């Protein structure tokens, strides 16, 4: 059995990220050792350190993949919505649904900040989900559905934090809490739109 170098690399990285996601999500960053990861991925620790700078670097790769997954879920959710305000609401629900997976939760909201570093994590975040949110807010402002004088950056930050926390508190879990969070979210956006 002979594989090209590119294939070997892709296969090793893929396996390490896949296994890393599972273990980091289950036992946390500190509770997951590099021997554990290497063994579960069926490679040596040396290979891990060949493909990633250190343990945090692997974690970082897992986080990026995770944000891409969320981003896709949001996009999927809003493809058939046109009203800017409804895009914000539906996109948010897509985010909550996708991020409510316990593994995502722990990686992104529990360990993420401490491992990647608050600012650095937010920079990844700001390129994906939060960027979508901000664009959505600005579009709604342009369309006159949200007050034009509202500072978009500040509102984006707050609402992004609100969504993250809703997920962390388990409001995406069962049907009653999904209903409650849905009500709260719609009220926040509708309330703002009343000020336009």
* Termini Cα distance of the chain: 66
Check binding of 109 to a copy of itself (CB under 8 A): yes
The Cα–Cα gap between 47 and 142 comes to 51
Burial (0-12, 13-18, 19+ Cβ within 10 Å), 118: exposed
Check binding of 60 to a copy of itself (CB under 8 A): no
Determine contact, residues 196/144, Cβ cutoff 8 Å. yes
In the complex with a copy of itself, which residue's Cβ is closer, 38 or 133?
Answer: 133
Which of DNA, a copy of itself, none does residue 65 bind to, with CB < 5 to 8 Å depending on kind?
Answer: none
Binding mask 14-53 for a copy of itself (x = CB under 8 A): --------------xxx-----------------------
Determine contact, residues 95/71, Cβ cutoff 8 Å. no
In the complex with DNA, which residue's Cβ is closer, 4 or 79?
Answer: 4
* Contacting residues toward DNA, per CB under 7 A: 1-6, 8-9, 11-12, 32-36, 43-47, 49-51, 54-56
């Amino acid at each position: 059995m002979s594989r090209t170098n590119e294939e070997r690399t892709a296969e090793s990285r893929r396996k390490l990220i896949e296994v890393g996601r599972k273990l980091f999500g289950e036992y946390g960053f500190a509770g997951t050792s590099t021997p554990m990861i290497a063994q579960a991925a069926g490679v040596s620790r040396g290979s891990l350190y060949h493909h990633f700078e250190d343990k945090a670097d692997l974690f970082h790769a897992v986080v990026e993949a995770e944000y891409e997954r969320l981003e896709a879920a949001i996009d999927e959710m809003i493809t058939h919505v046109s009203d800017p305000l409804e895009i914000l609401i539906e996109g948010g629900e897509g985010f909550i649904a996708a991020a409510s997976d316990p593994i995502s939760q722990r990686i992104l909201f529990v360990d993420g900040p401490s491992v990647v570093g608050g600012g650095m994590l937010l920079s990844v975040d700001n390129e994906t989900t939060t960027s979508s949110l901000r664009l959505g807010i600005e579009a709604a402002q342009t369309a006159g559905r949200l007050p034009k004088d509202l500072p978009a950056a500040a509102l984006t930050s707050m609402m992004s934090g609100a969504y993250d926390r809703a997920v962390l508190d388990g409001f995406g879990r069962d049907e009653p809490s999904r209903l409650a969070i849905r009500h709260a979210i719609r009220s926040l956006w509708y309330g703002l739109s009343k000020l336009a």
